[in-house]
Amino acid sequence: MIRRRFPWLSYLLVVTGAVLTVVPFLDMVMTSFKGPDEAGTLPYRFLPKAFDLSNYRAAIQQLDLPVLFRNSVVATALITGSVLLTSSLAGYALAKLRFPGRDFVFRLVLSTMMFPPFLFFIPHFLILVHWPLAGGNDLLGRGGAGLTVSIVALAMPFLVSSFGIFLTRQFMISIPDEVLEAARIDGAGEFAVWWRIVVPQTRPVLVTLGLLTFVDAWNEYIWALLISTANPEVMTLPVGIQFLQDYVDPTRTLPIVMAGLVLSILPVLVLFLLLQKHYIRGVMLSGLK
């Protein structure tokens, strides 16, 4: 790299930027320790008077945090599991199997990525509400609450990822055909070839895809908000915390909300720090987040 005459200028810029990025997180953590009269009052103070954990205890109780946590875990696990399974199955078919209509299906997968998510909130919600023979609905989808009564509703619109299919397909194309052919001659069926050879070979890309999907699913807000409004029992962490913030006295509950937020972002943060390389590669592959 070229020698800069003023490397300190670069350091100054990068460090300033990093501080600006991190300060809101520190402010969140500091506020989570503050007493009810300490947050949002003048003059502003960065540090709390004492570091006690009462807000965390309050968050766990007032928010019914274990239930929110369970709902978030179930929805995230369903989405991540399903995306990994369907992506690697479809990706394998599109990369390595020969069948009529393959180009058409592949082009279909690509073209679905043109449709932005906001276009689907309304019809997806209405489809789940009017799902036939679910949640008290009749055959024509009338009379009940449909699939919104089930926790599965949180995951339904995200069970398949076109980007995931595209990603695994691109990765699987580089597996040599001879390896697969050898396994077939040895008597392995296509399912065995997929599970024993293709899936292990594509583990890096599956880890990346799983991580991206996990983070997105864990942080998903709008859809979870819609489903939770219809059925509060399946409320997820982000929705529950926002609910507390909106409907209880905001200034007094602020430290509790911040404590809840710290707890809710911890799992993703830990996972990100542990598997950072995989995640960053995923963001590179998906273009921009």
Residues of span 172-231 touching another protein by CB under 8 A: 190-191, 194, 215, 218-219, 221-222, 225-226, 229
Q: Which of 115, 132, 203, 252 binds another protein (CB under 8 A)?
A: 115
Q: How far is the CB of 146 from another protein (least distance, A)?
A: 12
Q: Which of 33, 92, 163, 166 binds another protein (CB under 8 A)?
A: 92
Q: Which of 103, 104, 116, 186 binds another protein (CB under 8 A)?
A: 116
Is 282 a binding residue for another protein by CB under 8 A? The answer is no
Q: Which stretch binds another protein (CB under 8 A): 47-55, 61-69, 167-175, 265-273?
A: 265-273
Q: Which of 60, 175, 195, 272 binds another protein (CB under 8 A)?
A: 272
Q: How far is the CB of 233 from another protein (least distance, A)?
A: 19
**What single string gives the DSSP state of each residue in the chain?**
-PPPS-HHHHHHHHHHHHHHHHHHHHHHHHHTTS-TTTTTPSSP-SS-S----HHHHHHHHHTTHHHHHHHHHHHHHHHHHHHHHHHHHHHHHHHH---TTHHHHHHHHHHHTTS-GGGGHHHHHHHHHT-TTSTT--TTS-SS-GGGGSGGGGTGGGS--HHHHHHHHHHHTTS-HHHHHHHHHTT--HHHIIIIIIHHHTHHHHHHHHHHHHHHHHH--HHHHHHHHH-GGG--HHHHHHHHHHHS-HHHHHHHHHHHHHHHHHHHHHHHHHTHHHHHHHHHHT---
Is 61 a binding residue for another protein by CB under 8 A? The answer is no
Q: Which stretch binds another protein (CB under 8 A): 47-55, 60-68, 99-107, 200-208?
A: 99-107
Q: Which of 31, 55, 137, 202 binds another protein (CB under 8 A)?
A: 31
Q: How far is the CB of 123 from another protein (least distance, A)?
A: 3
Is 285 a binding residue for another protein by CB under 8 A? The answer is no
Q: Which of 99, 139, 174, 185 binds another protein (CB under 8 A)?
A: 99
Cα torsion for 217, 113, 156, 106, to the nearest 10°?
-120
Is 138 a binding residue for another protein by CB under 8 A? The answer is no
For residue 172, CA distances in Å to 86, 96, 197 come to: 14, 8, 11
Q: How many residues bind another protein (CB under 8 A)?
A: 105
Is 4 a binding residue for another protein by CB under 8 A? The answer is yes
Q: Site map for another protein, 232-251, x if CB under 8 A?
A: -----xxx-xx--x------
Is 81 a binding residue for another protein by CB under 8 A? The answer is no
Is 284 a binding residue for another protein by CB under 8 A? The answer is yes
Is 275 a binding residue for another protein by CB under 8 A? The answer is no
Closest among 210, 202, 207 to 169, alpha carbons compared: 202
